Amino acid sequence: MGNEESELGEGGGWSRGFRELDRILRGEMTSLGGEPRIAAGRLTWVVVLLCMAYGACMGTFAVLAPDGPGPMQVLASMVKVPLLFYLTLVVTLPSLYVLNALVGSRLTFGSVFRLLSASLGVNVAVLASMGPIVAFFSACTTSYPFMVLLNVAVFATAGFLAMGFLLQALQRLSDEQWPANAADAEIVGEPTAATRPQAARRPEPRVRTIFRLWMVLFGLVGAQMGWVLRPFIGHPDLPFAWFRPRQSNFFEAVYHALVALFS
Amino acid sequence: MTTPHLLHRADALLRGLPEPSPPGATAWRSRLAILAAFGALYGATMGSFGERPLQAAFSALKLPLMLGATFAISLPPFFVVNTLFGLRDDFRRVVGALAAAQAGLAVILASLAPLTAFGYHACGLGHRPAILLNGLMFALASLGAQVVLRRSYRGLIAARPAHRAMLRAWLGVYVFVGIQMGWVLRPFVGSPGLPTRFFREDSWTNAYVVVWEIVASVLSGS
């Protein structure tokens, strides 16, 4: 552990943050045994930066529409994409932690937070990597519904990949913390909790169910949060506004975008 | 890079022969040179419709640009997703395989250029048949490039089957972006009734929306 700390200590803050994200993407954080060793603070800055980069790509559509919201939309989207993720996390994290503790998981609040930070890192890395494609389509599309649906598809892809990562990380953690027998526990080097009498009752299926339910909740809250924080893309016929009136909901809006595109 | 050397490298690429040592930067340069030279050759042929030299020059520039730009903006998500699926160690080989397929596509297209020129000038094709002919050539070249791609990927898939799914994802994203890139950079053939331009005036529109509007108008019978 000490070696890793000194290894992480090399280089500047940003490059260390990106290296951290790289290690998460490679699966190193969750495959080495024990709890995820993630410096969540350092990672958060990189996540915010990547969110802002994607926000800028999203806002490109508004800049190029002659009667649209203009460059202010880019700025607004750069602020709002990080907000979208962190506000959703603030709303949903407490319930996850409480339910998690209730079903007997050994994950502490810090571990849950680090695990979610890592998943968020995966989510925004995928999102930001698709930024150039979104910016390219923004530059050469006049159809607003197409851009809405493309962004929804990109967010959904990133979200599903992050979900897969989270479940896999959880599985590894659970395998390491609750090995099949005591001999395995000794190999893993965690004899204390794993050899306790209650270790016979592995809470892992319930924890996985809680996490699965939570991911659905995160998706729903995130989608609606995106709706509350809209506009991100900026309708080409409407002037710039930080927020739109709070009417309708995300799913209705996606349905209307589909109808508008295909009619 | 001299012409005989370029032809030699293109031949090696089609036959799947290994890169000369040392690989790395030299291999990249040769693939890029093949893409630019052979792509430009087919582009120029494509643009020779109606015997307009300026259109031929524009198309010679635009074809390698289309292939290169599509490759460049499809690569970042592919890199992230490959890393996520634990395939990062192979990424150099993966990009090498994809770049080889791109270069292969350009070489195959260039080999079809005489047929396209024959179709234009000897058969006196009209504008729409000329576009269809080019569509056919691209389809043939894409099939040929698949051979190069699958050959380069065979070892990767044998070692890690996850590469198969990655390859499918790559083709999906590449085609999705490539269609739009081709639309933005058109005209490649050049309509005889319109003045020669680098971009069309309505270039910056969305190919998928336009296609859907055509389909919808056909379906509604208007």
Predicted local confidence at residue A55, as pLDDT: 95
Q: Strand runs (DSSP E) across A34-162, as ranges? A: none
Whose tokens are 């259109």? That residue is B55
Using an 8 Å CB-CB cutoff, list residues of chain B that contact chain A.
72-74, 76-77, 79-81, 83-84, 86, 88, 173, 177, 180-181, 183-184, 203-206, 208-209, 212, 216
Mean pLDDT of chain B: 86
Spell out which residues of chain A touch residue B77, defining contact as CB-CB under 8 Å: 126, 129-130, 133
Q: Show residues of chain A in contact with B214, CB under 8 Å.
A: none
Which of chain B's residues have a Cβ under 8 Å away from the Cβ of A259? none
| The predicted structure's pLDDT at residue B25 | 65
Contacts across the A-B interface (CB distance below 8 Å): 69
pLDDT at B1: 67
Give the residue-averaged pLDDT of A152-166: 93
DSSP state of B18: P
Q: Residues of B with CB below 8 A from A122's CB?
A: 84
The dihedral through the CA atoms of A42, A46, A49, A51 has a sign that is negative
Q: What percent of chain A has a predicted confidence (pLDDT) above 70?
A: 81
Is the ipTM above a cut-off of 0.85? no
Residue of chain A minimizing CA distance to B204? A140
How do residues A110-127 score in pLDDT, each as one tens digit? 888 888 899 999 999 999
Mean of pLDDT values over B113-139: 85
**Are residues B203 and A142, on separate chains, in Cβ contact within 8 Å?**
no
The DSSP symbol for A239 reads -
Average pLDDT over residues B152-161: 91
Query: How confident is the model over A172-210, as pLDDT tens digits?
Result: 777 766 665 444 444 444 444 444 444 445 667 778 888
Residue B185 backbone dihedrals phi, psi, to 5 degrees: -85, 0
B69-93 pLDDT tens trace: 999 999 999 999 999 999 999 999 9
Q: How confident is the model at residue A7 (pLDDT cuts 50, 70, 90)?
A: very low
Q: Which residues of A touch B180 (CB under 8 A)?
A: 136-137, 140
Which residues from A are below 8 Å from B when comparing CB atoms? 22, 25-27, 64, 122, 125-126, 128-133, 136-137, 139-143, 146, 161, 165, 261-263
Mutate to test the interface with B, among A22, A25, A161 (most CBs of B within 10 A): A25
**Nearest by Cα to A201 from A209, A193, A211:** A193
Residue B42 has pLDDT above 90, yes or no: yes
Q: What is the rounded distance in angstroms from the CA atom of residue A123 to the CA atom of residue A183?
A: 36
- Residue A140 to residue A252: CA distance in whole angstroms: 26
Say what the pLDDT of residue A188 is.
Answer: 43
**pLDDT confidence band for B63 (50 / 70 / 90):** very high
Residues B13-31 have pLDDT tens digits of: 888 777 665 556 667 788 8
Mean pLDDT computed over A73-98: 90
Measured in degrees and rounded to the nearest 5, phi and psi for residue B190 equal: 90, 115
| Chain B residues with beta carbon closer than 8 angstroms to that of A137 | 180, 206
Nearest to B84 among A137, A142, A161 (CB): A161
Model pLDDT, residue A11: 58
Residue located via tokens 């024959």: B118
Average pLDDT of the segment spanning A88-98: 87
In this predicted structure, what is the pLDDT of residue A176? 67
Contact status, residue A24 vs residue A118, Cβ threshold 8 Å: yes
Task: Return the C-alpha torsion angle A118, A120, A122, A125, nearest 10.
Answer: -130
